[in-house]
Amino acid sequence: MTHLIEITALTKTFGTGSGSVEALKGIDLYVDEGEIFGVIGLSGAGKSTLIRCLNRLETPTSGRVVVAGRDLTTLNDSELLEARRGMGMIFQSFNLLSLRNVWSNVAFPLEMAGRPAPIIHQRVAELLEMVGLSDKAKNYPAQLSGGQKQRVGIARALANSPSILLCDEATSSLDPQTTASILSLIEDLKERLRLTVVLITHEMKVITEICDRVAVMEDGRIVETGQVIEVFTAPKHPTSKSFVEVVLSNREHFLEKGYRPKGILVRVGYIGAMVVEPLVYTLVKKFDVEANILQAHVDHIKGTPYGTLLLDLAGDTACVALALDYLKSSNVNLEVFDDPDSH
C-alpha cells in the first residue's frame, strides 16, 4: 500500500559554514490517508521545520517528500501552488489578518485562488457554519477569544477544500478547555471532510486526545514512532518517557511531596481491560511482599482502555526480586525505578 505522505531521508540545514543549524538530520516517516498523525518534541526539536517542508514553506536540503504520489521537491511553481492548495495549515499564533473581519479572513484564500464572488459567498457561509462562527462574521480578530480565532484559522485553512490539514502547535496558546474543543472540532472535521491530519505539539495530552500514531522528535531526528497507545503505555526512548511522565504525574510527584519509598518503585502499564486486583493480590499472597498502590490511572485512547499503576514494593529482598520477576514475565509493561539488578 502506498502512503499518502512519504518522507525519506529528509534533511534541512539553515545557513552555511560554522553558523549553520542542522534542523532536520534525516527524517523518515509516512502518514496514511485518514490518519491523525502527531509529532511531539520539545522546542527546537525541528517540528515546525518538518511540517513546513511538507508544504514547501521550507525547501529541504536533501531527501524526498512525496504527497499523493508527487515528489514535492521536483514540482515547478504552478504545480507547487496546486499541491499547496491541497494542504491547509493552522498555527499557534493564528496568523489572522487583523484589518479584515472574520468573513473576509476566510474569504481570503478563495480570492487568492481566483474563485468568483458568488462561490466565495456560499463557501464562506458554509465554512463559518462548520466551525460554529456564523454569528461572528462581521467581527474583527481583536474582538475574538483565542478559541474563536483558531476556529477562523481552521475555516480559512479548509477554504480551498484541502485533503490534508497541517497543525503547528495549533492549541499551544489555548487553555485546556478550549484546547479540548478545538481538538474535537479537528477530529469532527477530519471525519466529515475525510481529511488527513498532521499535528505537531509539545503536549502529550494533545497526542493522546486525538492522534492515531505519533513520532517523537528530538534534535532533528525521530527517536520513536508508533501507535499512540503503544508509545504512551510502553515508551521506549527516554524522551518519549519524559513526555508520558508529564501526563502521569507520578514518581517525581510523590518524591517531591516527600514520599520515602519503603522498597522499590515500579510502574506497571497495560493495554486493554486488565483487572488490577488479581495482580496486586498475587504479589502480596504469592510473593509475600508489601505492594502499596501509590497511584492508579485508568483512561482510554481512541476507545482502547489502558492503565498505569505506580507501586511501592517492599519486603524481604529475595521476595521482592521474585515479585519483580513475576511482573517481568506478566503481560504488562514494567518500569523499575530502582532495579536491584542494575546495581
To ligand ADP, the closest distance from the beta carbon of 49 in angstroms equals 3
Q: Which is nearer to ligand ADP, 15 or 116 (CB)?
A: 15
Q: Residue 92, interface with Mg ion (CB under 5 A)?
A: no
How many residues sit in the footprint of Mg ion (CB under 5 A)?
1
Q: How far is the CB of 263 from Mg ion (least distance, A)?
A: 42
Question: Residue 14: which of ligand ADP, Mg ion, none does it interact with, CB under 5 to 8 A by kind?
Answer: ligand ADP
CB 206 → ligand ADP: shortest distance, Å? Answer: 14
Q: Which does 263 bind (CB under 5 to 8 A by kind): ligand ADP, Mg ion, none?
A: none
The count of other CB atoms within 10 Å of the CB of residue 228 is 23
For ligand ADP, the binding residue among 23, 215, 265, 324 (CB under 6 A) is 23
In whole angstroms, what is the distance from residue 45 CA to residue 48 CA? 8
Which of ligand ADP, Mg ion, none has residue 49 at its interface (CB below 5 to 8 Å by kind)? ligand ADP
Q: Are strands 304-314 and 164-168 parallel, antiparallel or unpaired?
A: unpaired
The strand pair at 36-41 and 62-67 is best described as unpaired
Backbone angles phi, psi at 328, to 5 degrees: -65, -35
Give 150 or 250: the residue with its C-beta nearer to ligand ADP. Answer: 150
Q: Is the dihedral of CA 49, 53, 59, 61 positive or negative?
A: positive
Instruction: Return the one option of Mg ion, ligand ADP, none that residue 44 interacts with (CB less than 5 to 8 A, by type).
Output: ligand ADP
Which CB sits closer to ligand ADP, 45 or 311? 45
Of ligand ADP, Mg ion, none, which one sits near residue 23, judging by CB under 5 to 8 A according to partner kind?
ligand ADP
End-to-end CA gap in the chain: 47
- Give the number of C-alpha atoms closer than 13 A to the C-alpha of residue 113, restricted to the C-beta side: 24
Q: Which of ligand ADP, Mg ion, none does residue 308 bind (CB under 5 to 8 Å by kind)? A: none
Nearer to ligand ADP, 172 or 330 (CB): 172
Question: What are 164's strand-pairing partners?
Answer: 87, 196
Residue closer to ligand ADP, measured from CB, 9 or 119: 9
For residue 230, the cross-strand partners are none
How many residues sit in the footprint of ligand ADP (CB under 6 A)?
A: 12
CA 198/CA 165 separation, integer angstroms: 6
In angstroms, what is the minimal distance from the CB of 41 to Mg ion? 9
Residue least distant from Mg ion (Cβ): 48
Q: Which entry of ligand ADP, Mg ion, none binds 117, CB below 5 to 8 A by partner kind?
A: none
Q: Of the candidates 234, 190, 195, which has an alpha carbon nearest to the alpha carbon of residue 209? A: 190
> Binding Mg ion by CB under 5 A: which of 36, 37, 45, 48?
48
225, 215 in Cβ contact below 8 A? Answer: yes
> CA–CA distance from 8 to each of 65, 76, 196, 216 (Å)?
7, 20, 19, 16
Closer to ligand ADP by Cβ: residue 46 or 109? 46
Q: Which is nearer to ligand ADP, 46 or 153 (CB)?
A: 46
Helix (H) or strand (E) holding 130: helix 117-130
* Alpha-carbon radius of gyration of the chain: 24
Using the minimum distance from each CB to ligand ADP, give the nearer residue, 150 or 201: 201
Residues 34-93 that bind ligand ADP (CB under 6 A): 41, 43-49
Distance CA 250, CA 244 (A): 10
Give every CB contact of residue 266 below 8 A, 6+ residues apart in sequence: 310, 311, 313, 324, 327, 334, 335, 336, 337
Q: Which stretch binds Mg ion (CB under 5 A): 45-53, 79-87, 125-133, 246-254?
A: 45-53
Give me 52's grid cell. 513546513
Q: Which residues bind ligand ADP (CB under 6 A)?
A: 14-15, 21, 23, 41, 43-49
Q: Which residues bind Mg ion (CB under 5 A)?
A: 48
